[in-house]
Amino acid sequence: MTGEPASGGLPAFLKSKIFIALVVVLALGVGFAFGAVRWAFQQVEAPGPLAAAQIHVVPKGMGVSQIAREMEASGIIADEKLFRLYARYRKLDSSLHAGEYEFQPGVSMVDVLAQLAAGKTVLRFVTIPEGLSSREAAALVAAAEGMKGIAEVPPEGSILPETYTFTLDENRAALVGRMQDAMKKTLAELWAGRAEGLPVKTPEEALVLASIVEKETGLPEERQRVAAVFVNRLNRGMMLQSDPTVVYAITKGERELGRALRFKDLAVKDPYNTYYTRGLPPGPICNPGREAIAAVLNPIQSKELYFVADGSGGHAFAETLVEHNRNVAKWRKVQQEHRRQQRLQQQQNNQ
């Protein structure tokens, strides 16, 4: 009969109600799960609690659980459990990099995770100006905060002056090695495009001459002109007679001279003194920059053989000794006037 239970079974209407109930429960469960997942994604993508930019260091060997706990304690993220679950969902929990990170205000957990996974750590900087001795450059590296280890003073002229980036706890010797690699690469690149007829026969000789040019002028527009003077003198077999080489002959780059050159200094018997020895000195007298090297390898075309300071920060150039002597006389007048002004100022200060 209709409505009678089948042998060993439930009534049809009861089966129908149970089925509907299961469907409802399942739908509610699916809806709840969907809502929970949606909520979780909203939380990891939402702005975080960080109120101001913060530097945070993740030590080597730290796992995702400890990273998450420390970031929650530091106020970078709001929920360390949710962060950990999301990292595992993205399969990034074992790919987070150690290092020093800077997180911006309101950074989301998604962005924190992306930064850690990409290893976008804080970059620190150390700048090596052109013309420093290797001793001075090594001192700058030694003083750079956030590095470890000790770097020996490299050979003179072996590092390329520029700004270098490094990360927290990078080894100082490794950074100096990068500086030396940069010099080798730059020198090789510029040597390949050198002009013809130069009196320098090797990249090492070009580096020596570039170090002299670097110390002779601080004006970018003068480098090729100064280089041309020295190239012309070398091609003619003339002495370079460069004052900075005299300073290096006395100090060897180990200290500041601390005074003006004297006439007797020009007679110092040292291979670095280009008033005493003909040709190039045996090695660089500083670490020249890329532009000084480029100037030596591609100087301007000129017949100039002399230059002297002109009192304005630059130099007066000459083709003949007669013209040069006139320029020297002008420079001495500038010096005399400068000393006179100094004496007047001193007198006024003493009144």
- What are the structural domains of the chain? 54-118 (3.30.1490.480), 124-184 (no CATH), 197-349 (no CATH)
Task: Give the pLDDT of residue 1.
Answer: 43
Task: Give the pLDDT of residue 277.
Answer: 94
The model's pTM is 0.80
Task: Give the pLDDT of residue 340.
Answer: 81
Write the DSSP symbol of residue 332. H
Amino acid symbol at 17: K
The two structure tokens encoding residue 304: 């100039």
The structure tokens 């987070």 sit at: 96
The two structure tokens encoding residue 257: 């001279």
User: Which residues have CB under 8 Å from 268's CB, separation 6+?
Assistant: 246, 249, 250, 276
Low-confidence ranges of the chain (pLDDT < 70): 1-41, 351
Task: Give the pLDDT of residue 27.
Answer: 47
CA–CA gap between residue 162 and residue 165 (Å, rounded): 10
3 state SS of 15? helix
Task: Give the pLDDT of residue 2.
Answer: 46
Task: Give the pLDDT of residue 9.
Answer: 61
pLDDT in tens, 143-180: 999 999 999 999 999 999 999 999 999 999 999 999 99
pLDDT in tens, 229-265: 999 999 999 999 999 999 999 999 999 999 989 999 9
